[in-house]
Amino acid sequence: MLLIGLTGSIATGKSTVSSLLSSQPHSLPIVDADVLARKVVEPGTGGYDAIVKHFGPTTPDLLVEPSDSMPENGPDGKGRPLNRAALGKRVFGDNAALKRDRAVLNGIVHPAVRKEMFKAVLGCYLRGHWAVVLDIPLLFESRLDRFCGVTMVVAVGDAETQLKRLMARDAHLSREDAENRVRSQGDVRAKAARCAARGDGRGVVLWNDGTREELAEKLEEAMATMRRSSPEWWSWALLGCPPLALTVAAWRLWQNVQINRRWEAASQQKGKL
């Protein structure tokens, strides 16, 4: 089974590509890290308790305000949901305190998300899917790209276009808030360069500075190439022979580790110039 690591940055069109991949003619299962990240911090989970314990004393509006429709202890008695906007202000930004808070939050959420992702991918493998999409905003930063046969980055060439799309989508954000959120996910153009450096068949960059129709055409071309290199019969062969599947997965992991080492060495050398 082919693991397609889909990433980008906020307001670059990653969600559009994810939607296209889940629909006809592709009909691929999507493992969405953002969806899982919300799931693992729902009231009653260990992630929720850890966030409330750490951020609650210094963030008075961390939880959704009680109201007629939102009881003090939440609709199911497990607690009120997190106020994601308030939590976002605690972790998005460049100063040292915000970075420390973001690291704490990531340390709570990421391990739980990885566990849920593994369970979802295993289920897709057992159902015989030829490919599954891992929709992960921080694919490279979390180093989960090492497990992917193909990485796909949805990018825009103009940073201003990205900001305008974000503020149009989330009207409550100021320009400063939008800039902080964009920076928190890294420069998407750098991600595109890293993806392209993986080489043909391993890295796909979809530039999304135009229309949805143009993006869909680029995606169709990329998926046709993937289909030829990873046909459905190969997925059934891997399902029928688990040792072969483990061998292929280990080989891909080793190759990706080498690719990442070369990229990091080249980046360090570039930084010295």
Residues 270 and 166 in one domain: yes
List the one residue out of 15, 11, 58 whose CA is nearest residue 184: 11
Cis amide bond preceding 25, omega within 30 = yes
| Of 92, 111, 128, the domain-final residue | 128
Residues 43 and 11 in one domain: no
Residues 234 and 163 in one domain: yes
| Of 96, 112, 128, the domain-final residue | 128
CA angle 229, 157, 25 (to 5 degrees): 35
For residues 72 and 214, which has the higher predicted lDDT (pLDDT)?
A: 214
Cα–Cα distance between 112 and 4 in angstroms, integer? 21
| Of 69, 95, 128, the domain-final residue | 128
Residues 179 and 269 in one domain: yes
- Cα-based distances in Å from 83 to 64, 187, 273: 5, 27, 45
- Contact (Cβ atoms closer than 8 angstroms) between residue 202 and residue 153: no
Count up the domains in the chain and report the number.
Answer: 2
Residues 13 and 60 in one domain: no
Residues 60 and 124 in one domain: yes
pLDDT-based confidence at 273, cuts 50/70/90? low
Q: Tokens representing 273?
A: 């110039």
> Element (H or E) spanning 57, and its range?
none
**pTM for the full model?**
0.84
| Domain boundaries, position 235 | 1-29+129-273
Residues 4 and 118 in one domain: no
pLDDT-based confidence at 146, cuts 50/70/90? very high
Cα–Cα distance between 78 and 12 in angstroms, integer? 36
